[in-house]
A = this chain, B = another copy of it.
Amino acid sequence: MTQINAVLGGTSAAKASPMPAFLKIGDCLELPAATMTFDRNEEIYGETDPAEFVYQVVRGAVRTTRYLEDGRRQVGAFHLPQDIFGFEAGDTYRFTVEAIVDTEVRLVKRSALETAISKDMRAARALWTLTSAHLEKLQDQVLLLGRKSALERVAAFLLEMVQRKPNGGAVDLPMSRNDIADYLGLTIETVSRTLTQLERTKAIALPSSRHIVLCNRSALAMA
User: Which residues of A are interface residues toward B (Cβ below 8 A)?
Assistant: 66, 68, 72-74, 76, 88-90, 94-95, 118, 121, 124-125, 127-129, 131-136, 138-139, 141-143, 145-148, 182-185
Which residues of B have CB within 8 Å of A184?
146
Do the beta carbons of A135 and B133 come within 8 Å of each other? no
Do the beta carbons of A142 and B89 come within 8 Å of each other? no
- When C-beta atoms are compared, the residue in chain B nearest to A143 turns out to be B74
List 13 other contacts, CB 8 Å, given A68-B143, A89-B133, A131-B135.
Answer: A66-B143, A74-B142, A74-B147, A89-B128, A89-B129, A89-B135, A94-B136, A121-B121, A124-B124, A124-B125, A127-B128, A134-B135, A145-B145
Which residues of B have CB within 8 Å of A132?
88-89, 131
Which residues of B have CB within 8 Å of A134?
135
Which residues of B have CB within 8 Å of A128?
89, 124, 127-128, 131
Cα–Cα distance between A36 and B68 once the two chains are bound (Å): 42
- When C-beta atoms are compared, the residue in chain B nearest to A88 turns out to be B132
18 of the cross-chain contacts (CB-CB < 8 Å) are: A66-B139, A68-B148, A73-B147, A74-B146, A74-B147, A89-B133, A94-B136, A94-B139, A95-B139, A118-B121, A124-B125, A127-B128, A128-B128, A128-B131, A135-B135, A135-B138, A145-B185, A147-B182
Do the beta carbons of B142 and A142 come within 8 Å of each other? yes
Do the beta carbons of B76 and A142 come within 8 Å of each other? yes
